[in-house]
Amino acid sequence: MVSLEKNKEVVKKRILLVDDEIAILKLLEFILKKDYELVIKNNGFDALTWLDNGNIPDLIISDMEMPYFDGADFVRSLKVSGYFRDVPVIVLSGSDSLENIKTRIPYPINDLISKPFNPSILKDKIKIILN
């Protein structure tokens, strides 16, 4: 008996990672690459340029403190945009208090996580946001 199985291509959700710390990007890549398509950018300006070229990720994970265009400016640009305002955003921060970040980003974000972070908790939060 021959079994016919349709080839089902699994389409991974795309996550845009934005951080100037190579170690954090490598850690995020290590814990997420199996389950997601990752796009990595080193600052908010490069990330916004990538987005402006017609790319829309399923989720954005951004650091707060970056050169050239920091996390607060980057998120502000996303949330005032007609194209990107509904893209879910997780903000990572190693230096600011969470209350200070809420003041600096007066727009809705999906989650705010302090660095260092627990990879399992981050993965769980991503699954909740993307489902």
Q: What is the pLDDT along the chain (131 residues), one digit of tens a residue?
A: 444 455 567 789 999 999 999 999 999 999 999 999 999 999 999 999 999 999 999 999 999 988 878 888 999 999 898 889 999 999 998 866 667 777 788 888 999 898 889 999 999 999 999 99
- By the 8 A CB rule, do 44 and 71 touch? yes
Q: Please work out, in degrees rounded to the nearest 5, the angle formed at the alpha carbon of residue 36 by the alpha carbons of 121 and 8.
A: 130
Q: In what order do the strands lie in the sheet with 89-93?
A: 37-41, 14-18, 59-63, 89-93, 111-114
Q: What is the pLDDT of residue 8?
A: 63
For 113, phi then psi, to 5°, come to: -125, 130
